A and B are shown apart, each in its own frame.
Chain A
Amino acid sequence: MSEFVNTALLREEFRRRSQLAIGVVVGLFCVLFFRFAWLQLVQHERYSALSESNRVSLVPNIPPRGVLYDRNGVVLASGDWGYALEVVPEKIADLPALWAQLAEIVRIEAADLRRFHRLREDSRPFEAVPIRQRLTEVEVARFAAQRYRFPGVEMRTRDWRSYPFGPTFSHLIGYIGRISQKDKLALQEAGRWSAYRGAQYIGKAGIEKRYEEWLHGQTGFEHMEVDAGGRALRSLGRTPALAGTNLNLHVDAGLQQVAEAAFGPYRGALVALDPNNGGLLALLSKPGYDPNLFVDGIDVETWRGLNESLDKPLVNRALRGVYPPGSTIKPFMALAGLELGLSKPSDSFADPGYFSLSAGGHRYRDWKKDGHGTVDLHKSIVISCDTYYYRLANQMGIERMHDFLAQFGLGERSGVDLDGELAGLMPNAAWKTRRFKQPWWPGETVIAGIGQGYVLATPMQLAVATMAIANEGVVYKPQIVRSWRDPKDGRVHTAAPEVVRKLDLDPKHLRLVKAAMQAVTQPGGTAAGAGAGATYSFAGKTGTAQVVAMNAAGRSVSGSARHRDNALFIAFAPVDKPTIALAVMVENGGHGGSTAAPIARKVLDYWFLGQTTPGAAAMPAPGLAEATTGEGDHAD
């Protein structure tokens, strides 16, 4: 093969192959072009949206949460802010080492670490989790100076809620807490999640929970152009936030504080209402807890301590404690007798100290062994005669008793805007058949007449019923909010009272019962000690109830102190034109007259005089011997 031929062949081969190559080049470029067309024409919308969401970041502008004020403008719950230290766990290789380093600068306690680990479980990946809240000024300065040592640790200003009165309002106001997964789902279902973008907290209990929608407001947005590093470059526009609504409550902080102090070491509950509109003036459940502990997530040990305590500080006794009303039911029974025409004020009988359904039958004993002598309606209330009401109840029968007392709200929820309220129990025969598949026995009617047996009521129900006597027959729904300021136009709106029902009661009958209740607080009455020296007129009724079904849990607790009777007292004042009606329940307090009534007196003194009257109704310590003007045990 000659050189020339070979060269020519090579050249020819080159031509063919380079033409082939050009074909391949064009073909592959066509593939590229189709890919570009796919991205830039077919998928253009999608990528445009992605590019926009890359570029535009919605920076949430969290609205200030509504402030809660009492009736006098005292702040009960308000926003607060300060510095918090937050850690992005994913950015930290060795957390224990970080804690050791951080502890050189800021105080970090075991509870902080426990809370951190609990919050971390709930957090999303790469979300900052707080390790310390409310840094002191010194801590802020120290961390700022050494920030460079701690990549992945950020110091941020954080809003939170503070409850200046601590445990005093725990069961009324409740608390806010971090938004949980469950909260989020509920908000999404309700279509309210958009209002919570960027928000961290939500009402978890009490008023904070029930009025969440008002208090939270609406998250606003700043549309920011951001770069890849998340730095905001410029604002593209904004949607303003709508602040939460400030609520003015009926509650009186001073009243609540006095009530709390008056309980001393006792457990129990107090509910005070305004008889003119149902306004909730005080709602106390003792013991309480510090709501501030819950705001940033309570640590497990503290929570367990609260949850497992025998004193049950987490139970709202005012709404969830169901107790036999005992003798506090007597004024209502007396009124029932009058209204139903079963008794006349002048009727009287000789009290032998017991009642029997049949001659020689079981004796239902009075608390006073030998009886009270001749007893009429007035006296039956003043000295709290049991025999009178055994007789009356037997005469009335359970059905009429049930129907009359139910009008006062016994056996039904008051409807107050707080979660978890229980309905108590006002029994009748139908109920017993339903519940136990047993007939109703006449003896059960007899003891129901003195508020024992199946009858159960919450302190809230007793307060509502008392209110209905005080205002001559109006059952209001207990109202929490007195007025509010509309965040949009700044106008103040006043809440209208809500009437549940109006009772048709004879004023003459009411006058008789009220007079008897007033005499209870006067010399000779069961609450004479608590009424001594009062400069205003007040009416009341003591009650002492056996610890049969102590509360909703119904758990038997050992120890004699927890087997003592519950002390009760209902009251309203002034007698003529009442401005307050209340119910006091002291768990294991012994006698209503000696333990519960003095608490009511202190509260009323504050309400009318603006101060407590020391000495007038000194608080006996628990475990002290029999009271001076009390009632004995209810037998049976």
Chain B
Amino acid sequence: MQIELRIAGLVRAGLRRVFRHADPVLLGLILALLALSTLTVASATSGAYLAGHLTNMSVALAAMLLLSHVPPQVLIRFAAPLYILGLLLLLGVAVAGDVVNGSRRWLNLGVTSIQPSELMRLAVPMAMAAYLHYRQEHLHNRHFALAGLLLVLPVALILRQPDLGTSLLILASGFFVLFLAGLAWRVMAGLALLLGAIVPLAWMFFLHDYQKQRVLTLFDPTSDPLGAGYHIIQSTIASGSGGLFGKGWGQGTQARLDFLPEGHTDFVFAVYSEEFGLLGNLVLLAIYAAMVARGLTLSYNASGLFGRLLCGAISLTFFTYALVNMGMVSGLLPVVGVPLPLVSYGGTSMVTVLLGFGILMSVASNKSLVKT
């Protein structure tokens, strides 16, 4: 009896230790999202990917909790080495990467293949936030420019692979760092003008045909119903046929009968909205919005600029992922290969996103330890 109580006490104490840095609100929202994800992936794959999905989630949650114990002042020291390593790997990919599906994204390290662009999703905002943190006493436009250079280099390399989706999202995360750090409005306006000038040029000279096709079929998916438009047509059919209440869990015919390609990965949202309907979508949007709001609140309360900028950027990037994916599945945005964060099946994305939340939790719970 005594021993049992002591063991129970130890376990309780251990758990408390493990979850000590985990923000309960954020954790609750994450677990809710993962529960919906599990249901949807199980339905989309008739249970085939369930074990893998649970494993991915466990690993990613563990990584998140682990990272939540690493204080920001330790993290900031890894920012520069991590960024340089990522950049080198990207260069390596550009020189000697493996070509898969026409894109050079993977680097074969002999033992395993890695996709350095995934690393950069966190490394880029980290490096930028760290740089601005060290220059916070007298932030000047040239510091923003240098931080921008830190951003543009990897983005350009990833764009060349080519991987439009990832490069745009990393660009977005970097922009969020600069934006939250107080990048002047007129600079942003200038950049917007510049972008307006570059886009037509990029369209003509840099975008690959398949990327152009994706954009074009967005405007008229029926122009190529068996090719590029197929995904969008089938995913809108899935969503639309779900109606207000959905067809019910496991009853989505679009996914179950394979009309919907990638129903467990990039297009998992179509399966979700087919089975859970508009009300389900509303729940999902609410969870995402709450997570972003919570993330930004925690960021604001962070004691250091590094943590604040990084966490703010992580929150907004998370939102961007969700927005882009749902916009794409519902036919508002072009098909870019972006998974729905924390819902799509896939270990890499799951780990990357939860590592971000791990950082967020660490920053939120270590505010007193960083000098302001």
Using a CB–CB cutoff of 8 Å, the interface residues on chain A facing chain B are: 1, 3, 6-7, 9-11, 13-15, 17-18, 21-22, 25-26, 28-29, 31-33, 35-37, 39-41, 43-44, 46-48, 50-51, 54-55, 225-229, 233
Which residues of chain B are within 8 angstroms of A35 by Cβ–Cβ distance? Answer: 327, 330-332
Inter-subunit contact B293/A47 (CB<8 Å):
no
Which residues of chain B are within 8 angstroms of A22 by Cβ–Cβ distance? Answer: 292-293, 296
Pairs of residues from A and B, 9 with the lowest C-beta to C-beta distance, nearest first = A47-B240, A51-B241, A228-B258, A227-B257, A39-B240, A13-B182, A40-B278, A18-B296, A228-B259
- Chain B residue nearest in CB terms to A32: B326
Q: Give the CA-CA distance A48 to B309 in the complex, in Å.
A: 45
A36 contact from B138, B139, B238, B239, Cβ within 8 A: B239
**A492 to nearest B CB, angstroms?**
47
Q: Is the interface of A mostly helix, strand, loop or mixed?
A: helix
Indicate whether A44 sits within 8 Å of B243 (C-beta atoms), given known contacts A6-B138, A18-B300, A51-B238: yes
Which residues of chain A are within 8 angstroms of B340 by Cβ–Cβ distance? Answer: none
Can you list 5 A-B contacts with CB-CB less than 8 angstroms, sorted by A residue number? Answer: A22-B292, A32-B330, A35-B327, A39-B236, A40-B243
Would you call B7 an interface residue if the criterion is a C-beta within 8 Å of the partner chain's C-beta atoms? no
- Chain B residue nearest in CB terms to A39: B240
Indicate whether A44 sits within 8 Å of B240 (C-beta atoms), given known contacts A3-B137, A10-B182, A228-B259: yes
Inter-subunit contact B180/A29 (CB<8 Å):
no
Would you call B37 an interface residue if the criterion is a C-beta within 8 Å of the partner chain's C-beta atoms? no
Inter-subunit contact B330/A39 (CB<8 Å):
yes
Indicate whether A18 sits within 8 Å of B244 (C-beta atoms), given known contacts A25-B319, A29-B285, A227-B258: no
B interface size (C-beta, 8 A): 50
- Chain A residue nearest in CB terms to B297: A18
A54 contact from B253, B273, B277, B372, Cβ within 8 A: B253
- What total of A-B pairs shows CB separation below 8 Å? 135
Would you call B43 an interface residue if the criterion is a C-beta within 8 Å of the partner chain's C-beta atoms? no
Would you call B33 an interface residue if the criterion is a C-beta within 8 Å of the partner chain's C-beta atoms? no
Would you call B254 an interface residue if the criterion is a C-beta within 8 Å of the partner chain's C-beta atoms? yes
Inter-subunit contact A36/B273 (CB<8 Å):
yes
Q: Give the CA-CA distance A39 to B308 in the complex, in Å.
A: 38
Inter-subunit contact A51/B253 (CB<8 Å):
yes
Using a CB–CB cutoff of 8 Å, the interface residues on chain B facing chain A are: 136-139, 176, 179-182, 234, 236-244, 253-254, 257-259, 273, 277-278, 281-282, 285, 288-289, 292-293, 296, 299-300, 305, 308-309, 312, 316, 319, 323, 326-327, 330-332, 372
B254 contact from A9, A54, A233, Cβ within 8 A: A54
A25 contact from B179, B239, B292, B330, Cβ within 8 A: B292
Inter-subunit contact A6/B308 (CB<8 Å):
no
Indicate whether A36 sits within 8 Å of B182 (C-beta atoms), given known contacts A28-B323, A29-B285, A29-B323: no
Which residues of chain B are within 8 angstroms of A46 by Cβ–Cβ distance? Answer: 240
The CB with the most chain A CB atoms within 10 A, among B244, B259, B277, is that of B259
**A43 to nearest B CB, angstroms?**
5
Inter-subunit contact B308/A14 (CB<8 Å):
yes
A40 contact from B138, B239, B323, B326, Cβ within 8 A: B239
Q: Give the CA-CA distance A15 to B299 in the complex, in Å.
A: 9
- Chain B residue nearest in CB terms to A37: B278
Which residues of chain B are within 8 angstroms of A6 by Cβ–Cβ distance? Answer: 136-139
Which residues of chain A are within 8 angstroms of B139 by Cβ–Cβ distance? Answer: 6, 10
Q: Give the CA-CA distance A227 to B323 in the complex, in Å.
A: 30
Inter-subunit contact B243/A50 (CB<8 Å):
no
Q: Give the CA-CA distance A36 to B236 in the complex, in Å.
A: 9
Indicate whether A226 sits within 8 Å of B236 (C-beta atoms), given known contacts A10-B305, A14-B308, A25-B292: no
Inter-subunit contact B244/A41 (CB<8 Å):
yes
**B319 to nearest A CB, angstroms?**
5
B180 contact from A17, A28, A32, Cβ within 8 A: A17
Q: Give the CA-CA distance A14 to B299 in the complex, in Å.
A: 9
Inter-subunit contact A47/B239 (CB<8 Å):
yes
Inter-subunit contact A43/B282 (CB<8 Å):
no
Which residues of chain B are within 8 angstroms of A228 by Cβ–Cβ distance? Answer: 257-259
**A278 to nearest B CB, angstroms?**
58
Inter-subunit contact B281/A14 (CB<8 Å):
no
Which residues of chain B are within 8 angstroms of A233 by Cβ–Cβ distance? Answer: 257
- Chain B residue nearest in CB terms to A47: B240
Which residues of chain B are within 8 angstroms of A37 by Cβ–Cβ distance? Answer: 278
Inter-subunit contact B332/A29 (CB<8 Å):
no
Inter-subunit contact A10/B181 (CB<8 Å):
yes
B237 contact from A15, A25, A36, A50, Cβ within 8 A: A50
Q: Give the CA-CA distance A41 to B277 in the complex, in Å.
A: 9
**B227 to nearest A CB, angstroms?**
13
Inter-subunit contact B278/A41 (CB<8 Å):
yes
Inter-subunit contact A15/B300 (CB<8 Å):
yes
- Chain B residue nearest in CB terms to A53: B237
Q: Give the CA-CA distance A188 to B234 in the complex, in Å.
A: 31
Which residues of chain A are within 8 angstroms of B309 by Cβ–Cβ distance? Answer: 14
Inter-subunit contact B308/A54 (CB<8 Å):
no
Inter-subunit contact A50/B241 (CB<8 Å):
yes
Which residues of chain A are within 8 angstroms of B240 by Cβ–Cβ distance? Answer: 39-40, 43-44, 46-48, 50-51
**A18 to nearest B CB, angstroms?**
4
Q: Give the CA-CA distance A54 to B293 in the complex, in Å.
A: 40
Q: Give the CA-CA distance A36 to B243 in the complex, in Å.
A: 9
**B350 to nearest A CB, angstroms?**
22
Which residues of chain A are within 8 angstroms of B308 by Cβ–Cβ distance? Answer: 11, 14
Which residues of chain B are within 8 angstroms of A28 by Cβ–Cβ distance? Answer: 323
Q: Give the CA-CA distance A123 to B241 in the complex, in Å.
A: 33
The CB with the most chain B CB atoms within 10 A, among A33, A40, A50, is that of A40
Inter-subunit contact A21/B296 (CB<8 Å):
yes
B281 contact from A13, A40, A44, A225, Cβ within 8 A: A40
Q: Give the CA-CA distance A21 to B293 in the complex, in Å.
A: 9
B241 contact from A11, A18, A44, Cβ within 8 A: A44
Inter-subunit contact B259/A54 (CB<8 Å):
yes
Inter-subunit contact A32/B323 (CB<8 Å):
yes
B257 contact from A29, A41, A54, Cβ within 8 A: A54
**A573 to nearest B CB, angstroms?**
69
- Chain A residue nearest in CB terms to B316: A21
Q: Give the CA-CA distance A226 to B323 in the complex, in Å.
A: 33
Which residues of chain A are within 8 angstroms of B237 by Cβ–Cβ distance? Answer: 47, 50-51, 54
Inter-subunit contact A14/B312 (CB<8 Å):
yes
Inter-subunit contact A7/B136 (CB<8 Å):
yes
Indicate whether A39 sits within 8 Å of B239 (C-beta atoms), given known contacts A6-B136, A32-B323: yes
Inter-subunit contact A47/B236 (CB<8 Å):
yes
5 more CB-based (< 8 A) A-B contacts, given A18-B299, A36-B278 = A10-B139, A14-B309, A44-B240, A51-B237, A228-B258
Which residues of chain B are within 8 angstroms of A9 by Cβ–Cβ distance? Answer: 182
Indicate whether A17 sits within 8 Å of B243 (C-beta atoms), given known contacts A11-B308, A32-B327, A228-B259: no
Q: Give the CA-CA distance A28 to B324 in the complex, in Å.
A: 10
Indicate whether A1 sits within 8 Å of B288 (C-beta atoms), given known contacts A21-B316, A40-B281: no
- Chain A residue nearest in CB terms to B282: A33
Which residues of chain A are within 8 angstroms of B238 by Cβ–Cβ distance? Answer: 51
Which residues of chain B are within 8 angstroms of A15 by Cβ–Cβ distance? Answer: 300
- Chain A residue nearest in CB terms to B312: A18
**A462 to nearest B CB, angstroms?**
62
